Structure 1
């Protein structure tokens, strides 16, 4: 490819980066579908990328395409020394996005992370909550193994102060803070694939939420444990917890709570292999999400609004668990935000769902390219949950004579020790 040709120089100067990608792809003999597999997007998304002209671009996807096609970064508006980092980790990591932006697109990331102290919170409760929030912000850039001990110490302090509270009102307020801290401890244990500890701390979060008397918080913590149980294969337990959460919410449930619980229920049905029930739950989540816009601001413990992107990402995951590549393909574009700009560990898990779907349709190169990207994230953050999911994807492919792409992947996977 002649990168110094007049046509390429003109396109770069005008900002028509899609044209450059298109010409490079054709010159390399790569189809739009093959490029999409390498970048983790659909063929139609590649087509739209190439036809964007001088409009704005998703620089993460653009960088991945340029890296795969060996396009000089400067020709698509990227500095040479940042292009590879953008392609691998997303544009926000180059500028080190803050934690709140990262978790906004993630479905199951604990939604308590950005909550500021309520005006009625004073003294110890407010101070302890600020500490919990600080730990949650660190989760976006710090391995869970490094955060676990400080968070557990913080939780023990919160529990001690709660037990010493002088009035029932103080105890209830402090118990709500303790519920948040215990939920965070459960989240970190889950990421480390310490299933027993995760279940223990989520249980502690539910118990503290009951003490707080906040039914919305209790419903959230029940739903959080339901999501955990569904992810670990305990579909019946997950569904029972979702029903308990709905009972806590009652008929006057905020739309955001109903939408979120709908996605959790869908994941549990998918874990049970029940496609019709999963589809029904997703449809309910869509209807509830339509109504979320009318609720400003979201009621605590929900901080971020619930969007159709999150529902689409849940459908993608359900499709992977049910072995329905069509669901994954149909949801891929709608879930693109979560696949490109969300919390890194959540992005890796979604990428593995996409890899599983590609593997089910025999697209080995795309599947193991995506799995390799998730493997690097899991190793970097020492995430046992991600690494175990990578191994599950690898186990789903069986062959006595695996091709080179699989053998190379195996070499990388076998070298990962957490």
Structure 2
């Protein structure tokens, strides 16, 4: 069942559920509200499933969505791979080791299995978390490509220490430290456009958080994965499902920072799906939580305060997705004028999004001025995510030709030719 979930082998999942509950095939069909003939075709590998059908089956079988992901990223409504007979099912394949972790392809053997001996004690977790915290703070000013090698080495170190901690009182706390390290590595991989590695690290981060039994860390990693799926992977329906799972874990009596941040992630998913009223309700809820007197001293693992300026940045993104350029521009101005404005890379992402709002309002010169600034920041920090947003806007743009459009085209053409570019 573990491998079936990891590889999206829904035939094996259905058969496993049927056997575990002692159902006939007809009883299974009735439980999931599909016909017995359809279930039979799926189980026998004669029926390919679409992504929406997989999501629907997961919901009906009460399978958390983060457990299911496609290795090959099929088209949103295309068929998923059929069952491959004879494939062995092992628990190790449910969450494959993140790249660089022990057990991953090319990684060194686990030190315990190699006969090495190292000890963990009450200082190990604090030391590992301090390293991750320092790396996260450096992300505001350093290119992700410069941080990635040390972040990956740190993930490997955390996994080694976690392996040594089995059977000790420190295992839970070290699982939390490993979760933080994997979550930050996922963020860096996403910034570099490596979707597969980002997703693998986020999934590892969720698993480690649950091993640690740390509810807020679990929510933080689930919400981060939801934001990644919604905004970077452009799968808002899947992202919204992950938000729902995170909300269930969070509960109603959580810290306002966590509630506001998760509500913003929800608002962006709704807006990306064109669901205006749901998006606005979620962003208004975020504003209430962020602006309340109780929203002070953000809880771990939130490193920075999630205040009204952060919510304004999300409101700008929501306005862009809902094609409301005036709301988007006003919110962007509020976010950048705050005493704690977004980091350079976050501002560049907002600029690339805001360019769409200006283009929709007919202000082409301002739209392409913002794109040029965002591109300069993306090049300066080596952020494939920022550069990709600029390219994505240009591919979608169908407005009039102008000098500013030609200037951006010339710059992008130079990048495509891999010639030196001044940022």
Q: TM-score range by the shorter chain?
A: 0.5 to 0.7
Asked if 1 retains the 8 angstrom alpha-carbon contact of 2:289 and 2:295, the reply is: no
Counterpart residue number, 2:415: 416
Judge which range, 136-145 or 199-208, deviates more. 136-145
CA distance in 2, matches of 1:200, 1:319: 31
In structure 2, list runs of 5 or more residues that go unmatched. Answer: 1-120, 419-423
- In structure 2, the residue matched to 1:225 is 225
* Residue number in structure 1 paired with 2:271: 270
Write the distance in 1 (CA, Å) between the matches of 2:338 and 2:322: 20
Check the 8 A contact 2:359/2:367 in 1, yes or no: yes
Q: TM-score, normalised by structure 2?
A: 0.67
8 Å Cα contact 2:332-2:350 kept in structure 1:
no
Q: Quote the offset at 1:355 in angstroms.
A: 1.2
- Which is helix-richer, 1 or 2? 1
1: CA distance between counterparts of 2:340 and 2:301?
A: 26
Q: CA RMSD in A?
A: 1.9
Shift of 1:333: 3.1
The equivalent of 2:190 in structure 1 is 190
Change in CA separation of 1:241 and 1:339 when aligned onto 2, cut-off 3 Å: farther
Structure 1: 4+ residue segments shifted above 4 A: none
Instruction: Judge conservation of contact 1:236–1:272 (CA < 8 Å) in 2.
Output: yes
Work out whether residues 339 and 351 of structure 1, in 8 Å CA contact, stay in contact via their aligned partners in 2: no
Question: Equivalent residue for 2:312?
Answer: 312
Shift of 1:339: 11
Superposition map of 1:257-406 within 5 A: 257-291=258-292, 293-337=293-337, 341-398=341-398, 402-406=401-405
Question: Following the alignment from structure 2 to structure 1, what is the Cα–Cα distance between the partners of residues 391 and 296?
Answer: 42
How far, CA to CA, are the matches of 1:198 and 1:289 in structure 2?
Answer: 28
* 3-state SS of 1:169 partner: coil
> Residues 218, 137 of structure 1: CA spacing in aligned structure 2 closer, same or farther, 3 A cutoff?
same
Paired position in structure 2 for 1:116: none
Query: Counterpart in 1 of 2:20?
Result: none
8 Å contact from structure 1 (residues 339, 347) kept in 2: no
CA contact (8 A) 1:313 1:338 kept: no
Residue deviations 1:107-134 (CA, integer Å, cap 9, x gap): xxxxxxxxxxxxxx94211111122122
Q: RCO greater where, 1 or 2, for CA within 8 Å and sep 6 or more?
A: 1
Q: For 2:394 and 2:296, how far apart are their aligned partners in 1?
A: 44
Which residue number corresponds to residue 406 of structure 2?
Answer: 407
Q: Is the 1:375–1:413 contact (alpha carbons within 8 Å) kept by the matching residues of 2?
A: no
Question: Is 1:234 matched up with 2:221?
Answer: no
- Tell me, in whole angstroms, the C-alpha distance in 2 between the residues paired with 1:371 and 1:304: 27
Mapped to 1, the partners of 2:148 and 2:188 lie a distance apart of 6
TM-score using structure 1 length:
0.67
Shift of the 254–137 alpha-carbon distance from structure 1 to 2, 3 Å rule, reads closer
Kindly indicate whether the alpha-carbon contact (under 8 Å) linking 2:351 and 2:374 is maintained by their aligned counterparts in 1.
yes
Structure 1 gap segments, 5+ residues each: 1-120
> Structure 2 vs 1, CA of residues 177 and 270 (structure 1 numbering), >3 Å: closer, same or farther?
same
Shift in Å, 1:295: 4.5
Secondary structure of 1:415's counterpart equals helix
Partner of 1:71: none
Q: Is contact 1:372–1:409 with CA below 8 Å preserved after alignment?
A: yes
- Look up the match of 1:126: 126
Query: Once the two structures are superposed, what CA deviation does each residue of 1:80-135 show, in whole Å capped at 9, x if it has no partner?
Result: xxxxxxxxxxxxxxxxxxxxxxxxxxxxxxxxxxxxxxxxx942111111221222
In structure 2, relative to structure 1, the CA distance for the partners of 1:202 and 1:403 (3 Å cut) is same
| CA distance in 2 between partners of 1:161 and 1:247 (Å) | 31
Residue 247 (structure 1) aligns with: 248
Displacement, 1:142? 2.2
